[in-house]
Structure 1
């Protein structure tokens, strides 16, 4: 089980561009701990689990799948839609 737990309320966002950080920022991220400073250090890294089924969860992105480039060919049909947790009603479909 991941720590903290993987709640269904998490919002996953796929970025359309890389996020660049400095060496110092990366070092600071690696120093983050899962617990209180008075406890034994537990790194935030290596806190992963296998890919899970989507189970009607939404993944949000601003990636334009209709644009293709030589670096990232898109040969899959995409189903783009917006959903809200209002009794499972589909609010807007593209």
Structure 2
């Protein structure tokens, strides 16, 4: 994690200018190449990949008996919980 933070600290804000429009050629292992702008790459490729792998990890952990539920995905939402409405344990 420290390596990732150090790498990101070397990236200047100017490198993100026009990133949404910047063309990306994403090579797939089977020889296909996807050509798309940066914004479409994030929306149509990167985010679905993260969601898929998160879901698979969740399913494997649940199968192994780890007590996970939906609340483990959205703990940040408790900041918006109306007082007195939390379920009793």
TM-score above 0.5, yes or no? no
| Larger Rg computed on CA atoms | 2
Alignment TM-score, normalising by the size of structure 2: 0.26
Alignment TM-score, normalising by the size of structure 1: 0.26
More helix by share: 2
